[in-house]
Each structure stands twice: as structure tokens, then as C-alpha cells.
Structure 1
Amino acid sequence: MPEEKIIVIKEIGEILFKKSKRFKRLSVRIAPNKGVWVNVPFTISYKEAIHFSLQNKEWIKKNQIRAKAKESNQSIFSPEIEFKTRFHKLQLCPADVNNYSAKLSDGNLQVTYPLGCTIENKELQSFIQNSIIETLRREANYYLPKRIKQLAETCGFNYQSLTIKNTKSRWGSCSHDNKINLNLHLMRLPHELCDMVILHELCHTIVKNHSKDFYHLLEQHCSELKRKRKAIKNYSTTIY
């Protein structure tokens, strides 16, 4: 039965440890928009896997920089590109001002910047990204607690707690004691895919693995599962 655990390691950050019988040896992987993960054979403990990560710390840090560089080249937010969250649309507004500012108003995330500033400016792009993340966080804190409660009550699931995070590796997770984590980037998904992720984690309160029993349970509560699982691959857990 496969297992996954996220551990924060000093100087490296968040690492996803994936434990499975199909892994024959310890290996570390890094990819843009996916972060760092370690494939761990079932016969090796998490303590050994963490030690392995520390042994490869310099290699990881070097390749994290490369991955970040690739991420930063992927998207430039500009007035010509439409970007929406569940409740807001990004609106970029050059104006006779000296500083960057952002505000939420009438369904818009309005980012204002100085007239002389080019849209490609790295500081401006960073400000836009951070403004979007904060908007997603507010939306997620407003919407997701209510939605997971609705789905749990409708489908007969029980969970201990909900935490909303900005993670790069997964849309959600469920601990052994039924504490659920959801990614704030769910607020960029279509309604049906957001619900699929929530139901996926709620099903883990009953079945703790990704066996046939798990997917049979999920199919009972989530129609057209095959199509939706394919569709979600077109989305990333980052905005970069």
C-alpha cells in the first residue's frame, strides 16, 4: 500500500516522501511546479530517507534554483492575458502613481503600477503573483470550509479538521487521523474538479490508499471520474 508524507527540512524546505513497493532504491527528484520529492522503497524508513536527502542537500539546492528559473520563465501576467480565480478577475492598471498596489473590488483583483514600469519588470511580476496568492488564500478560506462540510454531510463522511495551504506538489491530502489539507489553488479549478479533489480526500477518511476499493468508493460519489482525472492534468498547483 503506497504512502506519502510531506516533511520540511531546514535549508531545503518542503519535501514529499513517496513510499511504495515498486521503488527499488532511494532517489530524489525535482521538477518545475512540482517541487522536491523522494521515492522511498517500503523497506527503508523515513529517518533513512531524510538522512539521504540531507546527504544530497547541495544537489537539491542547486537544482531547486534551476527549477525556479524555469518556473519564472513560464508566465508573464499582462493586460492581454485573461486570468481568473473563482470569484475575481485580474485587472492590471498603469497609473500616475509611485508604488504598486492591489485591491479587491466588484469581482476584480485590481493591481495598479506606475506608468513608466514595463509589464515584464520582475518586481512587478512578483507583486502580481503575490497579490494573486493572497486573493486565492482569502477565497479558499471563505469557500473551502463550507464546501467540504456540505460534501461531507451529503455523502456521509467525517473528518477531523481542515487546513488550507499553498503547496506545489498536491491538490490535497488526508492524514491517518482524518485531518485534511487542501491547496488554495483549488480556487482556480472548475467547480466539478474542485469537488473531485475534496471528495478524493474525504474518501481517504475511509480507505487510506489508492486501491481499487478506494476508486470504487470515489466513483460512487463523483460521476465521470475518469474524464475529470484526465481534465485536472491540464492544471498546475502553481500560477507560474
Structure 2
Amino acid sequence: MSKKQTIPDKDFGQIHFMVRRSARNITMRVKENGLHVTTPPYRSITALLNAIAPFREKLLHACAEIKPRPFDLSFSIEAECFRLRLEASPLKNFTVKLKDETVVIACPVTADFTTDRVQALVKNAVMRAMRKKAQDYLPPLVQYWSRQFELPYHKVSISKARSRWGSCSSKKDISLSFYLMLLPVHLMDYVILHELAHTREMNHGPRFWELLNQMTDGKALALRKELHAYRPVF
């Protein structure tokens, strides 16, 4: 099997296989675009499908939980640092406004939420609002923690990445997903501290975790586990 391979599947839509030489076991993770399987080298697709079979029902249950529900006027986001809701409007076009620190997407009363067009319009409006909030909120937070722990960085950029919360390059450029705005504050801080730790330790070796533990009062692994288990509303 090649390093990356995707096959269609009647239950998950797609199964994405990733070969990693450092992997000791087969791991499975459900995402919105299908089932992601990480495997050690030299495993055939048939062998991997046989390994998945006993867990298929449990994985399908997890898949049902993460699939986004369609937007309608009841949709809202009530995160610690980002609040958003939809409301009906007599206007003919969708508009976005800020009201009492809450982003309000005003939707025409004639909007048909069963259509792909309206679903896409609302989704894009939510994403633009979240990006704007992240651009205002996250860079100063990175600067604050950078000064607290004397870990300088080069610059901060905001991305729409969904597969990872953040990253740090060898040039100390930090990229943060605007989906961080959906996290509780303590997990948002953890992601930022994680990336700042990479400005000194670029890998995930013992020295990295020792540094991150110093920055999180010994809670680095517990916070990582909590972050992996967190399921944002959007």
C-alpha cells in the first residue's frame, strides 16, 4: 500500500489510510470526511479492513455524532470567546452585525434552509465571522503568553485548518486555526502554549513535554487528552 490511500466505503463514505513508520498499532479516527486509519508499514488494504470490522458499529456511532446538523434559525454558538446566532430579517439579503458582543446573522424570512445555496451562505458567513474574531483575539493572546514565558516568535497567521489547531515553522511562524474560537479558554491557551514551546523545541521529544509541563503546571498531557476529546459545535 502507498503511504496515503483513500477508498470508497458504504458506511463512512471514504476511508483514508495513512502509513507511518513510527506507528506501532493501527489507530482509527472518525472525521466529517470519513474514517481516518493510521497504520504501520506492510499492511494490505484487506488486512486493514478486517481490523476495522469489529469496531465498525462503534465507529459509525461516533460518525453520527460529529456530522454537522443543517443550519436553521435555531442554530447558535455559545463559546467562551465567540457567540453567534441566527435571526429572521425582513431584508432581502443576508447581513451580519454585532449585537451585545454576539455576532448576529440576519436571514431573510424567505430563506429556504433546505437548499444547498442557503446552507452554504450561512456556513460562509459563520466562517467569516469566526475568522474576523480570531484575527482580533488570538495574536494579542500569543503575544501575552510569549512575554510570560520569554519565548519569542516571528509572526502569527490565522488559517481555516480543521485537521490541526495550530502549527509552528522552523522560522518561528505560528499559524492558528480560527476554529480555536470555539474552544474553552484553557484549551485555547494550551494550543498557543504548545506552539510557543515549538519555538524552542521543534519536535515532541522529552524536552518539549518537559517545557510544556512547566508552562501548564504539569497538566500538558491531561490538556492534550481533553483537547483530543473535545467536539466543537461547528
CA contact (8 A) 1:136 1:184 kept: yes
| Equivalent position of 2:223 in the other structure | 228
The runs of 5 or more residues in structure 1 that have no matched partner are 1-17, 42-69
- How far the C-alpha of 1:237 sits from its partner, in A, is 7.7
- The equivalences for 1:126-141 within 5 A come to 126-141=120-135
- The equivalences for 1:186-225 within 5 A come to 186-223=180-217, 224-225=219-220
- How far the C-alpha of 1:99 sits from its partner, in A, is 2.2
Q: 1: CA distance between counterparts of 2:121 and 2:80? A: 20
Higher relative CO (Cα under 8 Å, sequence separation at least 6) belongs to: 1
Q: Which SS does the other structure have where 1:102 is aligned? A: strand
CA contact (8 A) 1:169 1:237 kept: no
Give the % identical residues: 28
| Equivalent position of 1:166 in the other structure | 160
Q: 2: CA distance between counterparts of 1:36 and 1:183? A: 22
The runs of 5 or more residues in structure 2 that have no matched partner are 1-17, 41-63
Q: Which amino acid aligns with 2:94?
A: Y
| Equivalent position of 2:86 in the other structure | 92
- How far the C-alpha of 1:219 sits from its partner, in A, is 0.6
CA contact (8 A) 2:134 2:181 kept: yes
Say if 2:173 is the partner of 1:179: yes
- The equivalences for 1:6-45 within 5 A come to 21-22=21-22, 32-33=31-32
Q: 2: CA distance between counterparts of 1:190 and 1:234? A: 13
Q: 2: CA distance between counterparts of 1:21 and 1:205? A: 26
Q: CA RMSD in A?
A: 3.3
CA contact (8 A) 2:160 2:178 kept: yes
Q: Which amino acid aligns with 2:220?
A: L
| CA displacement 1:73-107 (0-9 Å, x = unmatched) | 52223343431345442222223332222222221
- The equivalences for 1:60-99 within 5 A come to 74-99=68-93
Q: 1: CA distance between counterparts of 2:154 and 2:35? A: 28
Q: 2: CA distance between counterparts of 1:199 and 1:19? A: 29
C-alpha distance 123-104 of structure 1, shift in aligned 2 (>3 A):
farther
- How far the C-alpha of 1:185 sits from its partner, in A, is 0.9
Q: Which amino acid aligns with 1:155?
A: F
Q: 2: CA distance between counterparts of 1:236 and 1:194? A: 14
Total equivalences in the alignment: 191
Q: Which amino acid aligns with 1:22?
A: S
